[in-house]
Each structure stands twice: as C-alpha cells, then as structure tokens.
C-alpha cells in the first residue's frame, strides 16, 4: 500500500509499505478516508521530537471505514464509518478508568525513552514516533488501530468525512483546552494560535459560556476566518503589542483564562523570539516558549492558563515568578480523546460545531509532500491539508 513517510529531518516521501494486519484480539484495520495534517506533525518532521526512524508512516488525525476486526472486538463491525482518537488507550488501566486516557499505562510498548525524559511514560500516539509507541500513522491507505473498541467511534449519518476527521484530534484537543479553563459563564478567554486547534478551542470556549473570546495570530487569513466563522475578536501580534492590547481590551485586568494552542515552534517578533530560536537551533533547549510566556504574563491574577500546544523537553526563561505570584492555575496535557469524542460527534451531528471549513486543501495521498509544504509554509490560505488516500 502507499503511505507518506518520514525520510529524515525535513524530508518526506510517498512510498510503498506493508499493509497492516491484525496483531491482537482488540485490533481493527481501517481503510483511511480522510487524514488531516497537524501542527504537531511538524515537530516530528523537523526533528524536534525524538525517536523517528526512516520510513515511519506519519499522521494521527483521521477517519475511515472498518475493513477487519480482531476476534475480541465487540462494538465495531466491518463497514462502520469511524473516527479514531489519535491517543491510544487500553480502556482498563487506572488512568483509563478515570478518563485520563492520554496517560494510559498500557498503550505505549516502548516506554523507556519517555520514562527517562519525563519520569513516567504517557499513552502511545498513532504515527507519532517510537517514543510514543512506534505505531504506523494514518497518512496511508490502511492503518491498524489497537484497542479498537476503546478508540474508534461511529460517525453519525450526515456528517461529512472532512468534518468528522477533526473529531479525531483538533476538536477534542480544543475542547479540553476550554474545559481546563473551568468556565462558569461570562469570562474573557484569550487563545494563542488561529490554526485548527486554536479555532476549535475558541468555539469550545464559546459553547462552555465564555462571554468574549480573543484569538491571537499573525496570519491575516486565519484571523479573518476566525472572526467570520466564530465571531471572535482578534489580535495580530506582528502589528500589535499583545500584552498591551489585552490589558486595554479587559479594562486593565487581563483575560480570565488564556489558552496556548501553538506549541514548541511558536513564533513572535522581537528579541525574545530571536533568543529562543537560536537556542533551539543549537539544541540548547528543545522548545520555543514565546506564546506560553505571553499567556502567563497576560492572564489576570488568579486566572487559568491552559496549555495544549505540544512541548517535549526543557525550556529557558520560564516566568515561574509571574505564575506563582499571580496565583495562576496551570493546566496542560495531551488530549483525552476517548472522553470527548462521543460528545463532540453528537454536537457535530446537531450542527453546534462545524469544523469542515478547516479543510481548506483536500488532496490525494500522492500529493502529501506538497500538502505539508502548503501547510508548513502557510501558503494559499492553508488552514489544514486533508489527505484522501482512497481518492
């Protein structure tokens, strides 16, 4: 079968790879119908997340059709149209039983690296390096899904493939970001990043009761899309001092909650960004912390900072003093897909959320390399490239 593979830092290629097969009783094999690119994939491609090997199949945000099931699968049938959470969870360990699925004890078969790096190993993630289990990803014609009864969910009739695909990752990540904010109604929420996750976080905050949502980015087309589709306020950080603007927009108090939906390759203007970029390029730190710093500095006293952008290791100039002395609540993590996806599919079917507009560039799998270039370079107004392997 054909798949989009990692060929070394900054290099991708579509190549032939072996078809997946059932390996365990709970496995299902899915024919991929739509597989979205994701900003966190860029961290793998650019070498900022470790443990990639030549030929690894990329992709973790997808939906498709079940074509084979293991003997232990009870909930799914061949022919079911399903969306699959990117995080692999066993469903039976203590973390899964308490709905902390991205912390699953049993789904990462290669835990040694992350145990040494982070103290404990979290869950495996499809298509996300050998540090996250070494699972083949979804930018392929077929994919094996472990624990299929736990991680794959039937898509309601009437929901398009290009909308359902975002229920795999962008929607649950965005929802968890807003959920972490503990909104009670009427709050001001600022969101760093107007990509897929940032826009879904903004929409989720609105549904959960935010009175105002302010989205921060530098790309005019993304800001315009967020304003038009979601009715949010926007700040272009390339033209405006973000901290000053947020103070003015909140009568000096600052947002009640700040959501960081950018991650380790965050961008900015000015000397702090140049400092972070040099240190990251020299591998003196693994992550650029610009947007996290801004979120902590902007947030009102006693507020919440919710971090769902992906970070991997060590950072410099973390404003711990600001977080402590302002009594901020910091919440962060990989999303608990299985907790949120069933609810989000219901909201999709009811029209409360419509992420289909994010799929600005649908392409066949064979154009996957170009699709990633459009996405990474933010060309042609690209919000998300969605690959269609069966096209």
Give residue-wise pLDDT tens across range 88-99. Answer: 999 999 999 999
Mean pLDDT of 219-230: 96
Strand 2-8 and strand 11-16: pairing?
A: antiparallel
| Region of residue 28 (phi > 0: left; psi between -120 and 50: alpha; otherwise: beta) | beta
| Residues 154 and 223 reside in one and the same domain | no
- How far apart, in whole angstroms, are the C-alpha atoms of residue 21 and residue 29? 7
| Residues 306 and 348 reside in one and the same domain | no
CATH number at residue 123: 3.90.180.10
Strand 212-217 and strand 124-125: pairing?
A: unpaired
| Residues 28 and 165 reside in one and the same domain | yes
| Residues 165 and 178 reside in one and the same domain | no
| Residues 266 and 151 reside in one and the same domain | no
Domain count, the chain: 2
Contact predicate 305/328, CB 8 Å: yes
Q: pLDDT at position 292, please?
A: 96
Q: Say yes or no to pLDDT of 391 above 70.
A: no
Contact predicate 141/390, CB 8 Å: yes
- How far apart, in whole angstroms, are the C-alpha atoms of residue 321 and residue 38? 33
CATH number at residue 183: 3.40.50.720
Which residue segment(s) compose the domain that 348 sits in?
Answer: 2-169+335-388
Contact predicate 306/181, CB 8 Å: yes
| Residues 207 and 328 reside in one and the same domain | yes
Token readout for 114 is: 């992350």
- Global pTM? 0.95
Q: pLDDT at position 179, please?
A: 98
Q: How many CB atoms lie within 10 A of CB 391?
A: 12
Q: pLDDT by residue (tens digit) across 209-219? A: 999 999 999 99
Backbone angles phi, psi at 255, to 5 degrees: -60, 150
| Residues 265 and 383 reside in one and the same domain | no
- How far apart, in whole angstroms, are the C-alpha atoms of residue 385 and residue 378? 10
| Residues 310 and 208 reside in one and the same domain | yes
- How far apart, in whole angstroms, are the C-alpha atoms of residue 38 and residue 169? 9
Residue 56 DSSP one-character state:
P
pLDDT bucket at 281, cuts 50 / 70 / 90: confident
pLDDT mean across residues, the chain: 95
Q: pLDDT by residue (tens digit) across 156-215? A: 999 999 999 999 999 999 999 999 999 999 999 999 999 999 999 999 999 999 999 999
| Residues 138 and 235 reside in one and the same domain | no
| Residues 145 and 241 reside in one and the same domain | no
Contact predicate 183/376, CB 8 Å: no
- How far apart, in whole angstroms, are the C-alpha atoms of residue 4 and residue 69? 24
Mean pLDDT of 242-260: 98
Contact predicate 163/355, CB 8 Å: yes
| Residues 214 and 187 reside in one and the same domain | yes
Q: Which of 291, 306, 332 is the last residue of a domain?
A: 332
Contact predicate 244/292, CB 8 Å: no
Residue spans of beta strands (DSSP E) within 55-209: 61-69, 81-84, 87-88, 124-125, 142-145, 152-154, 188-192
- Per residue in 239-254, is it b (16+ CB within 10 Å) or e — as a string? eeebeebbbebbeeeb
| Residues 53 and 144 reside in one and the same domain | yes
Task: For 311-368, give the secondary structure using H, E and C.
Answer: CCCCCCCCCHHHHHHCCCEEEECCCCHHHHHHHHHHHHHCCCCCHHHHCCEEEEHHHH
């Amino acid at each position: 079968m054909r798949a989009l593979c990692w060929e070394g830092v900054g290099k991708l290629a579509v190549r032939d790879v072996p078809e997946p097969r059932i390996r365990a009783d709970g496995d299902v094999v899915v024919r991929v119908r739509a597989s979205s690119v994701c900003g966190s994939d860029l961290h793998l491609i650019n070498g900022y997340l470790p443990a990639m090997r030549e030929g690894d199949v990329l992709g973790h945000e997808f939906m498709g059709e079940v074509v084979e099931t293991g003997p232990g699968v009870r909930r799914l049938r061949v022919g079911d149209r399903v969306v699959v959470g990117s995080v692999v969870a066993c469903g039976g360990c203590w973390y899964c039983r308490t709905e902390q699925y991205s912390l699953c004890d049993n789904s990462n078969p290669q835990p040694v690296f992350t145990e040494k790096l982070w103290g404990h190993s979290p869950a495996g993630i499809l298509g996300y390096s050998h540090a996250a289990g070494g699972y083949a990803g979804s930018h392929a014609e077929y994919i094996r899904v472990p624990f299929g009864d736990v991680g794959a969910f039937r898509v309601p009739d009437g929901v398009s493939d290009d909308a359902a695909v975002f229920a795999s990752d962008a929607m649950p990540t965005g929802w968890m970001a807003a959920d972490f904010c503990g909104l009670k109604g009427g709050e001001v929420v600022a969101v760093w990043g107007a990509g897929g996750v940032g826009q879904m976080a903004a929409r989720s905050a609105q549904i959960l009761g935010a009175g105002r949502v302010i989205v921060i980015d530098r790309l005019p087309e993304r800001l315009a899309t967020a304003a038009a589709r979601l009715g949010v306020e926007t700040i272009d950080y390339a033209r405006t001092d973000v901290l000053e603007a947020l103070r003015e927009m909140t009568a000096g108090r600052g947002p009640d909650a700040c959501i960081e939906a950018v991650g380790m390759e965050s961008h900015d203007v000015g000397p702090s960004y140049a400092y972070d970029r040099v240190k990251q390029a020299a591998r003196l730190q693994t992550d650029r912390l610009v947007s996290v710093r801004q979120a902590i500095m902007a947030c009102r006293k006693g507020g919440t900072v919710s971090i769902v952008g992906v970070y991997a290791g060590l950072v410099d100039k973390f404003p711990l003093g600001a977080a402590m002395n302002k009594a901020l609540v910091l919440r962060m993590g990989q999303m608990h897909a299985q907790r949120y996806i069933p609810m989000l599919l219901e909201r999709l079917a009811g029209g409360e959320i419509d992420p289909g507009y994010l799929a600005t560039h649908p392409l066949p799998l064979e154009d996957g390399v170009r699709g990633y270039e459009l996405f990474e370079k933010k060309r042609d107004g690209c919000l998300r490239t969605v690959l269609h392997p069966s096209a």
